[in-house]
Amino acid sequence: MLPYQNLHQAEAALGRELTVAEKLWFNYSANKPDYLLHYHNILFLVLVYSTAPLPYMFIELSRSKKIEKHKIQSKVKNSFQDMLKCYKDVMRTFIVVVGPFQLFSYPLIKLTGIRTGLPLPSGWEIFWQLIVYFLIEDYTSYWVHRLLHSNWGYEKIHHLHHEYSAPMGFAAPYAHWSEILILGVPAFLGPALVPGPHY
C-alpha cells in the first residue's frame, strides 16, 4: 500500500509531478496492500494464457488452404475438443498449483526487494532489468529442460508436455504440475540475483 493519501502528497514526497504512468499506478494501487498486488498476478496469468492463443486457435480451426501449406505438420489437425481439453487442463494446473504457489511465495518476493511503490522505474531501468532477467531465465530454463529430458525426468514428469505432437497455442504451458513449479525457479532467479524490480 502506498504511504500517500492522495496524488498531491505523492508529488510533494517525490518533489515533482507524477508521470501519467505513475498516476495510473497510484490510482490502481494506492489502497491495495502489497500482498494483494502480488496475489492477483494469477488473474493476469490466466487472462494472458486464455487470450494469447486464441488467434492461433482460430487459424487452426479455419483449415485455410493458404495457411495449411505453411504448416510444418500439415497432416496433423487439432480439433476444437483437443484444444478445449488442453486449455481446461492448463487452467486447472494454474488454479490448483500456481495459485497456491502465489499465496506462499509472497515472503520470498519481499526478500528479493521487489517493490510496489513510487517512483516507477525509468524506461532504461525496465529495459535492462528485463534483458538481464530474460537471459537468466532463458539460460537456466534451457538446462532445466535438458534435465527433464533425461530418462527419469522424461518418464516421470516431462512426457506430459509432449502429449500434443503438433504445436498449438494452448499447449505451451501444458505440463505436469511439478514441471510448472520446477520451471518457476528460473523465472524467479533473475529478480533474486539482480534485485530491485518493480511489480
Sketch the domain layout of the chain as residue ranges: 32-193
Judged against a pLDDT cut of 70, whether residue 156 lies above it is answered with yes
Question: What's the mean pLDDT when you consider all of the chain?
Answer: 89
Residue ranges of alpha helices (H) inside the chain are 7-14, 20-29, 34-39, 41-51, 54-62, 65-68, 80-93, 99-111, 123-148, 151-156, 177-193
First CA to last CA across the chain, in angstroms?
12
- The residue-averaged pLDDT of 27-49 equals 90
Q: Are 28 and 117 in contact (CB under 8 A)?
A: no
Residue 159: DSSP 8-state: G
Q: What is the pLDDT of residue 199?
A: 59
- Asked if 23 and 7 count as a contact pair (C-beta separation under 8 A), the reply is yes
Copy the grid coordinates of residue 138: 532463458
- Angle between the N-to-C axes of helices 20-29 and 7-14, in degrees from 0 to 180, rounded to the nearest 10: 130
Confidence of residue 18 (pLDDT cuts 50, 70, 90): very high
Q: How far apart are CA 10 and CA 16, in angstroms?
A: 9
- pLDDT, tens digit (0-9, with 9 covering 90-100), for 49-94: 999 999 989 988 887 888 778 878 878 888 999 999 999 999 999 9
pLDDT tier at 105 (50, 70, 90 boundaries)? Answer: confident
- Mean pLDDT on 143-172: 92
- The alpha carbon of 152 is separated from its chain's Cα centroid by a whole number of angstroms, namely 27
Question: What is the model's pLDDT at position 92?
Answer: 95
Cβ-contact 73, 186 below 8 angstroms: no
The full length of the chain comes to 199
pLDDT at site 89: 96
Band (pLDDT 50/70/90 cuts) for residue 117 is: confident
Between residues 108 and 83, which one has the greater pLDDT?
83
| pLDDT for residue 97 is more than 70 | yes
Whether residue 157 is predicted with pLDDT greater than 70 in this model: the reply is yes
Residue 197 has pLDDT above 80, yes or no: no
**pLDDT (tens digit per residue) in 128-139:** 989 999 999 999
Question: All 3 cell numbers of residue 131?
Answer: 534483458
pLDDT of residue 175: 94
pLDDT at 152: 96
Predicted TM-score (pTM) of the model is 0.82
pLDDT at 192 over 80: yes
